[in-house]
């Protein structure tokens, strides 16, 4: 089923609101979402007009006040028509469109809340504004029933101006978020060129099916995720990984929809289409993150549920007291002050504003924060567990040592080993061939070649019989391994390396050792995490010797080896039972259960596997330093949430009693409420300045 690109909700295609935008049809759950996506600036322009109207009212009143102060408007101040003050009438005319046109959205929100038998922030604002405007209107036209009508009309204008300005700023941020998601989705082309038999046919992207063969010419965007089955090219993946250097792609390479084919013609077999593509998954993750609340915010929301009714009770008590003590005018001013300053707008936006800023900052580095729960857990983090293969290491063996004997040189050993492995597809053979390529060696073809499963290979070249493999291969061919060679073999194996023995015409002439080497960024990342006071653990299914060898290179003291994938969750549970807050860093495929069990699952190098991830933080690039950045960003975001909530709670705790005892005018109360919301928004925005 299609998904609303603004709010992320899955919608029924038959019942949804449809919009044809460009060459694509979009489905929305509501007209609001449709307008936000179709013309993201249109709604903002309407809000901008309402804010301008309210501010114009405030400015007009200010101009009239200044004019009166310098004597230019004395006639207006004193003029009465049919017993009605011309000044009060002027303010009534100014305030009415502000209250009922500019403020209509707030009043409508309050009506819907009351219709649903709930009380929200709009109800507080509407109650105060309409009460002030209503009493001002009565005082204007029926002076005998009240006085100081103009003061209440001024209050109504000022309150709405402050409130609408705050809402406009909040809405601007939310709309920008929706626009960012829209831009992400628009990276995907609208059409694809697919093979139908021998013919190339252009079809809408929505009609592409898994296993369709897509033709991508130089300069074109790759329509969907897939596997290269023919051709060679370089692909610009900057939109996904942030890397500016194009990546070489050949047969067997994975490509991502929305990336740009730079040079050669590619034939790509579609592997993920529609909702499963990387871009759609990224968009969904961003949507989920922006819509999520941390547990601390859910607590705040529950507090607000009790807080709003309590405000009305406090306002009623204060009104009653001041009515008995000093009469209606004072009581009404106190009532308005309590209602207006108590509006918990800052509480409502404390978490969304911070998470929105954090998500945006993370996206700059290819770090996707999936929600408030994980952000909150980062603050209490004690232990980071790393998978080894493919996470700390490159996931493929590399030649580390070449040991020649019998007068041969290292280059001779590498050439003969490469000749024997040239026709093999074994990972160790690939490691040997890559080492020969790095050394710029030309490798001729063997005259004969035979793979012996579980042992190695046999080849012949220029009347030489070459054996290259393990001890078993030497034993079955009656090749004696000298003691000095055995000593070297044991030394390499103690270091966790895989050894390959090279023999020519029955005599051992060399050893090649290989190992799955740590990533270049691993040691630096581990050191930074330890500097943060975190315990580092390696958790791997590999043997203990190899695991400890890698751990020693990286400076990791705690190693848990020989663990099957399904047992990793038990290890994490054990740590959690000891009171530790655990982050699990894995490659997002075999480690999915462990990522889900951890307090924070961090899936790394997941540019084409986002659909499979169960992590709370998804790192697009294959760079372990992003683990550090992700944790630092999560902690910084949580600090902002706490700062925002602390400010909001303290503000309301102090200001309501001050208003109730009559020490705040309604205008000052409204201004303070708006400033509180602006503080939360601006404090969250400082995350953009965070250096990672």
> Which residues belong to the active site?
387
Q: Are 539 and 571 in contact (CB under 8 A)?
A: yes
Residues in contact with 328: Cβ distance below 8 Å, sequence separation at least 6, in sequence order: 146
Structure tokens at 559: 């190693």
Strand partners, 201: 194
Angle between helix 295-326 and 121-141 (nearest 10)? 20
Residue carrying structure tokens 């074109």? 220
**Max CA distance (Å), the chain:** 124
Structure tokens at 185: 């989705």
Count the alpha carbons within 13 Å of 122 in the hemisphere toward its beta carbon.
15
Residues in contact with 429: Cβ distance below 8 Å, sequence separation at least 6, in sequence order: 421, 457
- Phi, psi torsion values for 533, nearest 5 degrees: 85, 15
Instruction: Measure the CA angle with vertex 80, ends 76 and 83; round to 5°.
Output: 155
Measured between its terminal Cα atoms, the distance across the chain in Å is 38
d(CA 321, CA 328): 10
Residue 234's SS3 state is strand
- Phi, psi torsion values for 459, nearest 5 degrees: -145, 160
Q: Are 157 and 58 in contact (CB under 8 A)?
A: yes
Handedness of CA 673, 677, 683, 686 (dihedral sign): negative
Using alpha carbons, list the distances in angstroms from residue 320 to 314, 323, 335: 10, 5, 9
Separation of CA 39 from chain center:
24
Q: Is 477 exposed, middle or buried (0-12, 13-18, 19+ CB in 10 A)?
A: middle
Q: Are 458 and 465 in contact (CB under 8 A)?
A: yes
Q: Is 343 exposed, middle or buried (0-12, 13-18, 19+ CB in 10 A)?
A: buried
Helix (DSSP H) and strand (DSSP E) numbers for the chain: 23, 26
Question: Does an H or E element contain 25, and which?
Answer: strand 24-28
- Phi, psi torsion values for 479, nearest 5 degrees: -95, 120
- Tell me the Cα Rg of the chain: 35
Give rounded-to-5 percent helix, strand, coil for the chain.
Answer: 55, 20, 25
Taking Cα atoms as reference points, which of 657, 591, 588 lies closest to residue 618?
A: 588
Strand partners, 469: 456, 501
Q: Are 398 and 516 in contact (CB under 8 A)?
A: yes
Using alpha carbons, list the distances in angstroms from residue 169 to 162, 453, 645: 11, 68, 18
d(CA 539, CA 525): 16
Residue 226's SS3 state is strand
Using left for φ > 0, alpha for ψ between -120 and 50, and beta otherwise, residue 252 falls in left
d(CA 400, CA 25): 54
Residue 423's SS3 state is coil
């Amino acid at each position: 089923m299609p998904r609303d690109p603004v709010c992320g909700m899955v919608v029924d295609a038959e019942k949804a609101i449809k919009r044809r935008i460009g060459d694509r049809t979009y489905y929305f759950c509501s007209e609001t979402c449709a307008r936000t996506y179709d013309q993201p600036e249109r709604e903002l322009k309407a809000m901008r007009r309402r804010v301008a109207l309210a501010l114009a009212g405030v400015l007009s009143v200010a101009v009239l006040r200044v004019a009166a102060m310098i004597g230019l408007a004395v006639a207006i101040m004193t003029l009465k028509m049919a017993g009605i003050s011309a000044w009060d009438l002027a303010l009534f005319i100014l305030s009415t469109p502000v209250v009922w046109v500019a403020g209509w959205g707030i009043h409508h929100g309050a009506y819907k809340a009351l219709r649903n038998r709930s009380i929200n922030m709009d109800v507080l604002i509407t109650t105060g504004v309409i009460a002030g405007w209503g009493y001002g209107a009565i005082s204007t036209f029926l002076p005998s029933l009240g006085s100081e009508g103009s003061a209440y009309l001024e209050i109504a204008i000022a309150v709405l101006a402050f409130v609408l300005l705050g809402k406009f700023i909040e809405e601007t941020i939310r709309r920008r978020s929706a626009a960012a998601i829209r831009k992400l989705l628009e990276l995907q082309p609208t059409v694809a060129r697919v093979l139908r038999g021998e013919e190339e046919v252009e079809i809408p992207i929505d009609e592409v099916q898994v296993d369709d063969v897509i033709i991508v010419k130089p300069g074109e965007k790759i329509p969907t995720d897939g596997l290269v089955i023919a051709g060679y090219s370089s692909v610009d993946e900057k939109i996904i990984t942030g890397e500016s250097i194009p990546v070489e792609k050949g047969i067997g390479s994975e490509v991502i929809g929305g990336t740009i084919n730079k040079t050669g013609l590619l034939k790509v077999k579609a592997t993920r289409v529609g909702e499963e593509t990387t871009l759609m998954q990224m968009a969904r993750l961003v949507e989920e993150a922006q819509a999520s609340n941390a547990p601390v915010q859910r607590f705040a929301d529950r507090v607000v549920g009790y807080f709003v009714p309590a405000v009305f009770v406090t306002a009623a008590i204060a009104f009653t007291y001041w009515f008995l003590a000093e009469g209606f005018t004072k009581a009404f001013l106190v009532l308005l002050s309590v209602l207006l300053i108590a509006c918990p707008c800052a509480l409502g936006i404390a978490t969304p504003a911070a998470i929105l800023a954090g998500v945006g900052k993370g996206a700059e580095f290819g770090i996707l924060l999936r929600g408030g729960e994980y952000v909150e857990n980062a603050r209490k983090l004690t232990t980071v567990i790393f998978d080894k293969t493919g996470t700390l290491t490159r996931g493929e063996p590399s030649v580390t040592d070449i040991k020649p004997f019998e007068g041969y040189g290292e280059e001779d050993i590498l050439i003969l080993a490469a000749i024997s492995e040239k026709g093999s597809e074994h990972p160790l053979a690939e490691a040997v061939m890559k080492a020969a390529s790095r050394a710029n060696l030309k490798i001729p073809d063997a005259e004969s070649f035979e793979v012996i499963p579980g042992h190695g290979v046999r080849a012949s070249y220029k009347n030489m019989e070459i054996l290259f493999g393990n001890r078993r291969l030497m034993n079955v061919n009656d090749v004696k391994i000298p003691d000095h060679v055995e000593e070297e073999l044991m030394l390499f194996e103690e270091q966790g390396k895989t050894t390959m023995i090279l023999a020519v015409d029955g005599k051992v002439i060399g050893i090649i050792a290989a190992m799955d080497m740590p990533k270049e960024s691993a040691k630096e990342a581990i050191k930074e995490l330890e500097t943060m006071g975190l315990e580092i653990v390696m958790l791997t299914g590999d043997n203990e010797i190899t695991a400890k060898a890698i751990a020693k290179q990286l400076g990791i003291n705690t190693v848990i080896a020989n663990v099957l994938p399904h047992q990793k969750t038990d290890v994490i549970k054990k740590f959690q039972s000891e009171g530790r807050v655990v982050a699990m860093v894995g490659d997002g495929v075999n480690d999915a259960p462990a990522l889900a069990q951890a307090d924070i699952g961090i899936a790394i190098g997941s540019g084409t596997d986002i659909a499979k991830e169960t992590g709370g933080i998804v790192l697009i690039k294959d760079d372990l330093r992003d683990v550090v950045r992700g944790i630092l960003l999560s902690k910084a975001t949580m600090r902002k949430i706490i700062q925002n909530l602390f400010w909001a709670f303290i503000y309301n705790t102090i200001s309501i009693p001050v208003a109730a005892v009559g020490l705040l005018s309604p205008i000052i109360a409204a201004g303070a409420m708006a400033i509180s919301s602006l503080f939360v928004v601006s404090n969250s925005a400082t995350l953009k300045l965070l250096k990672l």
